Structure 1
Amino acid sequence: MVLGWSRRRKNNNHKANGKPSMELVIPNHFRCPISLDLMKDPVTLSTGITYDRESVERWFDDGNFKCPVTNQIVKNFDMIPNHSLRMMIQDWCVENRQHGVERIPTPKIPISPTDVSDLLLQLKESSLRLEQFTCLELIQKMERWGAESERNKRIIVDNGAPAALASSFDSFAGDSVERNVGVLDEILSALKWMFPLQLEAQKSLGSIASLSCMVWFLKHQDLPGKEKSIVALKELLSFGDSNNVEALSKIEGVNELLVELVNKRISPTITKNSLRVIWYMVSSSKSECGEKMKISFVELGFVNTLLGVLIDSEKSICEKALAIFDCLCSSEKGRESALGNDLTVPVLVKKVLRISSLSTDYSVSAIWKMCKFGERGDEEGKVLVEALQVGAFQKLLLVLQVGCGDSTKEKATELLKLMNPYRAELECIDSDFKNLKRSF
């Protein structure tokens, strides 16, 4: 079997004398038996067969325990670099440079678990002594290792790097954010490819000192620093520990800051993750904490902010905004704020069957909650009439026809029953909000 390597030639791959050029072939023993590509880092297994390191590691990671060529069970997973073969491949590449073949670089020696453990031990000791320059060097060395290969990243994470970095972050944040801002920023950079965090790392990153530091970053750092901080906060709260939510909520000005970040829409990353953080805060498993958070965000005018986001944002942002909007409508103050804005019902109806099934669920739920709130007065009829006027009846029928979850089905059915008495007197219309400007 021969694998061809296309030559980059001018004049339709013809030589100057008009004769067609010969196809360049890779020698069979230079090709990995798994990928059939030219080997960049040949390694030999205990079975005596040589493979490209990346291919055979992926083979074992997929749960295979046999040598692909010999079909023998591999008991020793050591991979011995085949330097002789690698140098032969490099020489062949150099000889065929005129055919467009690039010389493969000499692979770096992969790190071992021992290398990682030694580095993390030094990092722990340096962090306890608050030696920020030593810690910076160690963290940057770890990042260089991770940049070399996905294998290195796995070894770094599997041997406790997230917990060590989070602990170091807590130590420096507890000392002084302003004095240690450089090393704190570097730790957040290193952590961003180590999520999701292990339990020990969550505890360190969820300390008051660490949370206060991340909030400080959101206030004072540049755009990359803000993005790293809000991503770390989102990852931390995503584990559902209400203690982290409660601790974050106690930091002065954090709610106002999150609302400001959503309002300004500095970057998609910040907007999306700020919405996620807010969602975790208002939907906290501790009912008392969650209710306080809902009231706090409503009083900050966040309902109007969410409506503005819903008018002109892309799908993933709209889904997150609708999730929060529906959650806020679970509180009396949230419903009052929503009903006080003329855009609420038209925008929610417009989002039904427009973005995703999840967005439809949230929109129907929010409309249903506002109608339920109005059962004690005239608000129910007001919402139902307005919903009918912007085409809600037809959309709710479509929701039932195309299929939805049981909860959404029940709410849509109840809304249809409530709207039915008003249908004869009202003309149903639909609106397009593409050119609608925010009035706040």
Structure 2
Amino acid sequence: MGLSLRARRRGGNKKEVQVPAISCSDEEDITIPSQFQCPISYDLMKDPVIIASGITYDRENIEKWFESGCKTCPVTNTVLTTLEQIPNHSIRRMIQEWCVVAKGSSLGRIPTPRVPVTSHQAVEICGKLLSATGREDHAACVEMVKKMKRLGKESERNKKCLKENGIGLVLCVCFDAFSENANATDLLEDVMVLLTWMFPIGLEGQARLTSSSSFKRLVGFLRGGDQNAAILVKELLSLDEANVHALAAINGVEEALVRSIRDSVSLASIYRMISVKPEITTRFLGLDLVNLTVEMLVDSENSVCEKALLVLNAICESNEGRREIRGNELVMPILVKKILKVSEIAKKDLVCVMWRICKSGDGSEVEEALRLGAFKKLVVMLQVGCGEGTKEKVTELLKMMNIQMKMNGFVDNSDSSIEFKHLKRPF
């Protein structure tokens, strides 16, 4: 690739920087005119904007500069009184015309960029939605919400601008206002999409979304398998224990969460509810929660395994939960299989579940774990290293297994392919 362009920084010591030309074919190099290059990247500007110093940059590059905490002009090094960026339409048109002239190469036309939403526009949209909500003007609310969705899809910058200018709270107000309106389903679904961008939403927004009518409507969407509803419920439950108690009071919420369990987000909500309100464990057990959670462990990625093991560990807190888990034929085989395959975070809960069911059982669980090859895998875990609490439980499990082997003359015929390269000394 040829080096056909020399760019010169302004200010300070003058320094020549060689910039690669755009290679369009084996025979042809296109040299970018210096006035079309961003002074930061020296690449062709796709969305040229002027900042307060009068220098033009590509929007993406200058935004990254500002987001890094710099409040100066990269070229002149002057401190800027404002970080506002104004589209340089004349340069953009010149770049587009130049691209057309060079169209015989592989260089395509630079499309006209969409101008990001400004804080002023975000505040205006916010006011219009709030006003329409107060009037219960369904059509106007739909129009404003769809406009926000369009803006959000255009760029992450737009999402950030909307969030920073109070849209989250107004959306919560809107959801609450229309939560009992049977004809507002489409509007509420769009509001939920937007709200997944807006957390944290503040105490007032949280109060609106956790009102009796709002919570009931969220559960209704959850029952229908709406993923955005599942995300909102998880976020609300994580904010305050009072929200857990409020949600638990809604009829059918356990069924809604279990029905959407294939979405691992609902696993996190179930864990939170059982942890804060253990007495509702019985309700979840009656909905086949143990079997569904165990099935999710079979071939799931680490993040899902972590949540599933959290739920099983929480269920193990109760006698009824331990009996249910011990009675599931898949539990021990899957736990043993996963010992050396899950993340460090998940290992803590996996060992705790195994320890609890072995300690509370009649010895058959320990024997099954031995038969499946748990002993060698736990030794490897102990030697490789684990947290102090986990280490204690692993040690106790190994002692239980050792006793079982001596009592029954058990010979470990487990899979000999387990790697012991990390083993420093025998157990």
- The aligned counterpart of 2:259 is 260
Gaps of 5+ in 1: 14-20, 266-270, 285-289, 433-440
- The aligned counterpart of 1:160 is 166
- The aligned counterpart of 2:351 is 364
Are residues 1:202 and 2:206 paired? Answer: yes
Contact 1:66 1:73 in 2 (8 A): yes
* Shift of residue 238, structure 1, vs aligned partner: 2.8
Contact 1:4 1:24 in 2 (8 A): yes
The whole-number CA distance in structure 2 between the counterparts of 1:42 and 1:393 is 64
* Shift of residue 3, structure 1, vs aligned partner: 3.3
Are residues 1:298 and 2:285 paired? Answer: yes
Contact 2:223 2:257 in 1 (8 A): no
Q: How does 1:218-237 map to 2 (within 5 A)?
A: 218-220=222-224, 226-237=226-237
Q: Structure 2 vs 1, CA of residues 422 and 235 (structure 1 numbering), >3 Å: closer, same or farther?
A: same
Paired residue for 1:3, among 8, 20, 27? 20
The whole-number CA distance in structure 1 between the counterparts of 2:245 and 2:129 is 30
1:376-401 CA-to-partner distances (Å, cap 9, x unmatched) read xxx2x222222222122211111111
Q: Which secondary structure does the structure 1 equivalent of 2:49 belong to?
A: strand
Contact 1:350 1:431 in 2 (8 A): no
The whole-number CA distance in structure 2 between the counterparts of 1:293 and 1:319 is 22
Contact 1:352 1:359 in 2 (8 A): no
* Shift of residue 63, structure 1, vs aligned partner: 1.0
Gaps of 5+ in 2: 1-5, 7-18, 417-427
- The aligned counterpart of 2:30 is 24
Contact 2:274 2:315 in 1 (8 A): yes
Q: Which secondary structure does the structure 2 equivalent of 1:100 belong to?
A: coil
Q: Structure 2 vs 1, CA of residues 206 and 397 (structure 1 numbering), >3 Å: closer, same or farther?
A: same
* Shift of residue 431, structure 1, vs aligned partner: 7.2
- The aligned counterpart of 1:287 is none
Q: Which secondary structure does the structure 1 equivalent of 2:31 belong to?
A: strand
- The aligned counterpart of 1:390 is 372
Instruction: Single out whichever of 79-88 and 156-165 deviates more from structure 2.
Output: 79-88
* Shift of residue 160, structure 1, vs aligned partner: 0.8
- The aligned counterpart of 1:181 is 185
Are residues 1:403 and 2:420 paired? Answer: no
Contact 1:120 1:161 in 2 (8 A): yes
Q: Which secondary structure does the structure 2 equivalent of 1:283 belong to?
A: helix
Contact 1:279 1:323 in 2 (8 A): yes
The whole-number CA distance in structure 1 between the counterparts of 2:166 and 2:396 is 52
The one-letter code of the counterpart of 1:428 is D
- The aligned counterpart of 2:10 is none
Q: Which secondary structure does the structure 1 equivalent of 2:80 belong to?
A: coil
Q: Structure 2 vs 1, CA of residues 204 and 430 (structure 1 numbering), >3 Å: closer, same or farther?
A: farther
Instruction: Single out whichever of 253-262 and 23-32 deviates more from structure 2.
Output: 253-262
Contact 2:163 2:197 in 1 (8 A): no
- The aligned counterpart of 1:64 is 70
Are residues 1:426 and 2:404 paired? Answer: no
- The aligned counterpart of 2:315 is 328
The whole-number CA distance in structure 2 between the counterparts of 1:243 and 1:233 is 13
Q: Structure 2 vs 1, CA of residues 187 and 395 (structure 1 numbering), >3 Å: closer, same or farther?
A: same
The whole-number CA distance in structure 2 between the counterparts of 1:77 and 1:257 is 47
- State, as a whole percentage, how many aligned pairs show the same letter: 42
- The aligned counterpart of 1:83 is 89
- The aligned counterpart of 2:9 is none
Q: Structure 2 vs 1, CA of residues 327 and 219 (structure 1 numbering), >3 Å: closer, same or farther?
A: closer
The one-letter code of the counterpart of 1:192 is T
Instruction: Single out whichever of 331-340 and 384-393 deviates more from structure 2.
Output: 384-393
Q: Which secondary structure does the structure 1 equivalent of 2:370 belong to?
A: helix
Q: Structure 2 vs 1, CA of residues 249 and 26 (structure 1 numbering), >3 Å: closer, same or farther?
A: same
* Shift of residue 82, structure 1, vs aligned partner: 2.2
Cα RMSD for the two superposed structures = 2.0
Contact 1:346 1:431 in 2 (8 A): no
- The aligned counterpart of 1:308 is 295
The whole-number CA distance in structure 1 between the counterparts of 2:165 and 2:396 is 54
Q: Structure 2 vs 1, CA of residues 431 and 160 (structure 1 numbering), >3 Å: closer, same or farther?
A: farther
* Shift of residue 193, structure 1, vs aligned partner: 2.7
Contact 1:35 1:55 in 2 (8 A): yes
* Shift of residue 339, structure 1, vs aligned partner: 1.5
The one-letter code of the counterpart of 2:241 is S
Are residues 1:47 and 2:34 paired? Answer: no
The one-letter code of the counterpart of 1:193 is W
Paired residue for 1:215, among 211, 214, 219? 219
Query: TM-score, normalising length from structure 2?
Result: 0.87
Are residues 1:126 and 2:108 paired? Answer: no
- The aligned counterpart of 2:16 is none
The whole-number CA distance in structure 1 between the counterparts of 2:48 and 2:259 is 53
* Shift of residue 429, structure 1, vs aligned partner: 4.2
1:383-425 CA-to-partner distances (Å, cap 9, x unmatched) read 2222222122211111111111111111111222222222231
Q: Which secondary structure does the structure 1 equivalent of 2:364 belong to?
A: helix
Are residues 1:143 and 2:149 paired? Answer: yes
The one-letter code of the counterpart of 1:410 is E
The whole-number CA distance in structure 2 between the counterparts of 1:384 and 1:348 is 12
* Shift of residue 426, structure 1, vs aligned partner: 1.2
The whole-number CA distance in structure 2 between the counterparts of 1:315 and 1:55 is 35
The one-letter code of the counterpart of 1:361 is K
- The aligned counterpart of 1:279 is 271
1:160-215 CA-to-partner distances (Å, cap 9, x unmatched) read 11111011001100x32x22112111111222333343333222222221121122
Aligned positions, number: 397
- The aligned counterpart of 1:437 is none
Paired residue for 1:37, among 19, 40, 43? 43
- The aligned counterpart of 1:268 is none
- The aligned counterpart of 2:360 is 373
The whole-number CA distance in structure 2 between the counterparts of 1:148 and 1:339 is 51
Instruction: Single out whichever of 71-80 and 155-164 deviates more from structure 2.
Output: 71-80
